[in-house]
Structure 1
Amino acid sequence: MLRLFLTLLLAAPVLHAAGLDADRQLANSLLAISQSRMPEALTTVDQLTEQHPNFRLAHLVKGDLLLARAQPLQTLGNPGGARSPELDQLRDEARQRVRALTDLLPNDKVPAYLLTLDESYRHALVVDASRSRLYVYENRAGLPIRVADFYVTIGKAGAGKQKEGDNRTPVGIYAISGFKSPRELTDFYGSGAFTLSYPNEWDTRQGRNGHGIWIHGSPSNTYSRAPRASEGCVVLANDDLTRLGQYIETGKTPVIIAEQVEWVAPDALEARRSDLAAAIDQWRQDWESRDTARLLSHYSASFRTGSQNLQDFGASKQKVNAAKSWIKVGLDNLSLMLYPERPGFALVSFVQNYQSNNLNDRTVKRQFWSRENGHWKIIHETSL
């Protein structure tokens, strides 16, 4: 294990700037060990433990360095072959933190999910459960630009929440719905908690339940937790949660949680964006045509909205269209995000401006689109 870390770190740059984050300080110490610069390694990890006295992984590395004065190191924690669940968890944390610095994401690729973000979304958060990492993307004229990333803990049982108490972190697209300050919480949640809109309407339709899925901090006696240690929440170190807060707009910022993020080149993102956008615009035009059959061709056979299925919805639209001499539909604040749960699935949100000869209406809508037999279809719709 230690040899693996050190081999990886040999390819990493040495970082000497003041105020480095915990990942880079830890990596600097391990890199110094790999190059037999033990005094420098000890100085670096001393600075880290002084800055974060509750950082257990840093103390483990420091203990190894002190032990190395008397005997060769065999593995991180150097337990002489003995197994310890706590040591295994610390090794997992070390592996994920080192991976973030040595298995770098390509600069020319972005998450496949952020097709179009309306300008009202300043940032989006993307969680990669497989890498124990949360990435912050800034919305620059609709293009996602990575501006920060953080080590995170997810559920003990991994990703893909289905029911209350399964210790899994949900996979899907959610919004930051609120913030709970430390005064409202126990010390377990550290410096606060951003609440997530789980379960969303798609989760509910799939029969998923549970509550209290948050992005929160760590107890005061713990700098960070193992990669899989929560009951389903996304957990950060307290100082990281504070830094993350500057990117969050309560009630606005989208959070995409994937079991393993799919990374694509910008031109591939543009192709997927254009494909879905064309389907949405054709749906809008066919609605304006007042031809109910054309309109309904854009809906899945399993479509639902509220208590209506496709048959009920179609009958309602037929009746409404018969009373119209003209219809105009405009879509403002349009955002398109591919859903991480499965391929060919998307969440579309917009402000709908509906005008006709006898009604003007403005509605916020969320639609789930599914690709069926090569064509995008609306499978679920919610008016907010």
Structure 2
Amino acid sequence: MYPNFRLAHLVKGDLLLARTRPLTTFGNVEGPGQQVEALREEAVARLRAYRERPATEFVPRYLMQMGPEQQYAVVVDAERARLYVYRNDNGRPRFVTDYYASHGKAGVEKWREGDNRTPLGVYHVTSFIDPKRLPDFYGSGAFPINYPNDWDKRLGRTGHGIWLHGTPSDTYARPPKASEGCVVLANQDFSSLSNYVQPGLTPVIISNEIEWLSVDDWQRNRRNLNDAIEAWRQDWESLDVERHLSHYAKDFRSDRLDRDAWASQARRIAKGQRALKVAIDKLSMFRNPGKDELVVVTFEQTLRGQGLADTQRKRQYWVREGGRWKIAYESAA
């Protein structure tokens, strides 16, 4: 078999050997064998994927709302060594396909450069790197993602160069935990995935194990945060600065300002306005995997007022504080 599909070779060898004598273990190897154990983990992951197909009545809780220009979203389940693709059906995610995928040798939840872990969080594909510009190790190409994102940097996480990419031309697939932090697919799967990825737009949510919601619960969660965002927009538009600032967390900061400096800026802007129009468009909301309630909200913001005309792409990180959704971080997207 070419490229070298090691698991297929091993299974074929077991089947041939079983014709002559009973097999005692997978690979019929006595004692610990690191390579055979890695192949066994791959076999378990592939079998599990066939047995546990995503139910159509459930959706990943992370895909709260896809933006109108985002045609697809990618969700990685490290525990199952699986990458799922969802289509944007008027904001609701619809399952399209899935692929076997490897991740970091040391597991997930990356914190520092060189720890061989894959990050957990909400990211976006930033570009496509043509295979002609890469060593053969990366196979059919690469999609870099924006790790570390603003929230990672706020928490002090370091590292760089986290990509979705293919495998060397002589290798079909790698064991579930085999990379230095990247998400790795077989070349034919990477080429198929390329049909769904829009550099600069496609979200990539990497989780340890996907949490699923019924459509009713998903709609309820989505509505609650949408209501909080709309209240923030209306309070800003009203020029009631204190009400507007009530939507910001105690430890809020932007890429340049802490909460006190942000409040001073808001008061200064409001003081010079008789009326302010705040419009939000192309809104997306993606919940961060993990126990903390954190949602990445991205939108196009337009401000119109006296001597003020501005449109820019914004990204906010919303958290739960005192039972309410509040903004913990804001920057240009």
**Secondary structure in 1 aligned to 2:191?**
helix
Higher relative contact order (CA 8 A, sep 6+): 2
1:197 equivalent to 2:123? Answer no
**Secondary structure in 2 aligned to 1:273?**
helix
Matched residue, 1:68:
18
Tell me how far apart the structure 2 counterparts of residues 104 and 362 of structure 1 sit (CA, whole Å): 42
Matched residue, 1:46:
none
1:335 equivalent to 2:284? Answer yes
Matched residue, 2:318:
369
> Residue 207 of structure 1: which of 147, 156, 162 is its match?
156
Alignment of 1:208-287 (within 5 A): 208-287=157-236
5+ residue gaps, structure 1, are 1-48
Tell me how far apart the structure 1 counterparts of residues 72 and 54 of structure 2 sit (CA, whole Å): 19
Alignment of 1:340-355 (within 5 A): 340-355=289-304
Alignment of 1:23-172 (within 5 A): 49=1, 52-79=2-29, 81-172=30-121
Tell me how far apart the structure 1 counterparts of residues 256 and 302 of structure 2 sit (CA, whole Å): 23
Question: Cα deviations across residues 247-285 of structure 1 (Å, max 9, x unaligned)?
Answer: 011111110101111111111100000100000000011
Tell me how far apart the structure 2 counterparts of residues 191 and 56 of structure 1 sit (CA, whole Å): 19
State the Cα distance separating 1:204 from its structure 2 match. 0.9
1:292 equivalent to 2:241? Answer yes
Q: Indicate conservation of the 8 Å contact 2:318/2:327, yes or no.
A: yes
What is the TM-score normalised by the length of structure 2? 0.98
Give the letter aligned to residue 218 of structure 2.
L
Q: Indicate conservation of the 8 Å contact 2:56/2:95, yes or no.
A: no
Tell me how far apart the structure 1 counterparts of residues 46 and 313 of structure 2 sit (CA, whole Å): 40
Tell me how far apart the structure 2 counterparts of residues 323 and 196 of structure 1 sit (CA, whole Å): 40
Tell me how far apart the structure 2 counterparts of residues 342 and 324 of structure 1 sit (CA, whole Å): 41
Give the letter aligned to residue 127 of structure 1.
V
Q: Which stretch shows the higher mean deviation, 99-108 or 116-125?
A: 99-108
Q: Indicate conservation of the 8 Å contact 2:272/2:306, yes or no.
A: no
Matched residue, 2:123:
174
Give the letter aligned to residue 250 of structure 1.
P
State the Cα distance separating 1:358 from its structure 2 match. 2.2
Give the letter aligned to residue 328 of structure 1.
K
Matched residue, 1:32:
none
**Secondary structure in 1 aligned to 2:28?**
coil
Matched residue, 2:250:
301
Give the letter aligned to residue 60 of structure 1.
L
Percent of aligned positions that are identical: 48
Question: Cα deviations across residues 28-76 of structure 1 (Å, max 9, x unaligned)?
Answer: xxxxxxxxxxxxxxxxxxxxx4xx4410000000100111111012221
As a proportion of its length, which structure holds more helix?
1
